[in-house]
Amino acid sequence: MNKSRAEFMLDLQRIENESYQLREGEQLQDYVTLMLEYIGDPDPELRDNLIYPTFYEWINEENRFTEEQLRNLLTVLTDMQHLFYHIGNEGDQTVFTRTFSVLPIALIVGRHRQKPFLNFNDFQNLKHSLLRYYKEEKDLRGYLPEGGWAHSAAHGADALVELVQCPECDSELLLDVLAAIQGMLHNGIHIFSDEEDERISSIVDIMIDKDLLPQQEITDWINDLAQCSVWPRSRIQVIARVNSKNFLRSLYFRRGQGSRGNSLNATILNAEAKLNRFSISTN
């Protein structure tokens, strides 16, 4: 399909207005190729308002892709030109390619967990890719005045929420995910301010709600998370302490609603008190 960027945007706007249906003679793969090319476009109108919603509708709502097409799409999304495009860079526009590649990955993983279609090697590559991404992403900015949402910690969390619910996910992988979350909260760079704590807490909330790990494992992890409260005072310590405190607050209020509350609440509260410099119990 030979189309300029402007023509492509007009096409996606038209597809949106026509309930994401293609016209006679149009090919799904032609549009997917262009969507992958422009997935990290610095213009949020194309990247966030047109390409991602189209992926969402075609993957999540309309089931437009065959299982083979989804596997092929996942291979491209996790390659060095997408999820790992200039991984490790900070403060530039490459973040948009990485963080808007992980969102359709989350959609594909959601499809797989509902009706598995990835083989053993596919799933191994998937889990290693998502864990590596969450560990190696260094551009943790949320909303940018020029460019809109980057939100890598939140978008990556959305994919991990789907991953931990897959039938292939064992206790070893769940512990690896908890370690990746701790690394993200103790990132040494950035205090989250765009509700990343809510998106990250969803991962642990699912683990608890579905009894994916023994409660003692979660308890031990929460207590370990709070150990940053006794680190020597530094900017790195402040970042770890504040991110962990806000995460635990999000998790507590998620768990504390009605019958969802459980004995982990006391562990969460105790850990929050250790991290909270203004708590009476720590003074």
Average the pLDDT over 60-79 and give the result.
97
pLDDT digits (tens, 9 = 90+) for 235-269: 999 999 999 999 999 999 988 755 455 779 999 99
251 burial (CB, 10 Å; 0-12 / 13-18 / 19+) is buried
So where are the chain's domains?
A: 170-283
User: Which of 100, 98, 177 has its CA nearest to residue 137?
Assistant: 98
Question: Under DSSP, is residue 1 helix (H, G, I), strand (E, B) or coil?
Answer: coil
Both tokens of 29, joined, read 């793969």
Q: For position 25, what pLDDT does the model report?
A: 94
pLDDT digits (tens, 9 = 90+) for 5-19: 999 999 999 999 999
Yes or no: say if 205 and 251 are a contact pair by the CB < 8 Å rule: yes
Q: Which amino acid type is present at position 246?
A: N
Angstrom distance (rounded) from CA 207 to CA 114: 17
Length of the chain: 283
Average the pLDDT over 17-23 and give the result.
97
Q: For position 258, what pLDDT does the model report?
A: 52
Instruction: Provide the 10 A C-beta neighbour count for residue 119.
Output: 9
pLDDT digits (tens, 9 = 90+) for 166-222: 999 999 999 999 999 999 999 999 999 999 999 999 999 999 999 999 999 999 999
Q: For position 178, what pLDDT does the model report?
A: 98
Angstrom distance (rounded) from CA 62 to CA 56: 9
The average confidence (pLDDT) of the chain is: 95
pLDDT digits (tens, 9 = 90+) for 72-112: 999 999 999 999 999 999 999 999 999 999 999 999 999 99
Q: What pTM, to 2 d.p., does this model score?
A: 0.95
Angstrom distance (rounded) from CA 180 to CA 186: 10
Q: For position 261, what pLDDT does the model report?
A: 54
Question: Under DSSP, is residue 205 helix (H, G, I), strand (E, B) or coil?
Answer: helix
Handedness of CA 199, 121, 129, 72 (dihedral sign): negative
- Which is higher by pLDDT, 262 or 69? 69
Q: For position 283, what pLDDT does the model report?
A: 44
Average the pLDDT over 20-35 and give the result.
97
Q: For position 255, what pLDDT does the model report?
A: 85
Average the pLDDT over 7-33 and give the result.
97
Name beta bridge partners: 148. 144
- Residue 37 makes CB contacts below 8 A (sequence gap 6+) with none
Average the pLDDT over 21-43 and give the result.
97
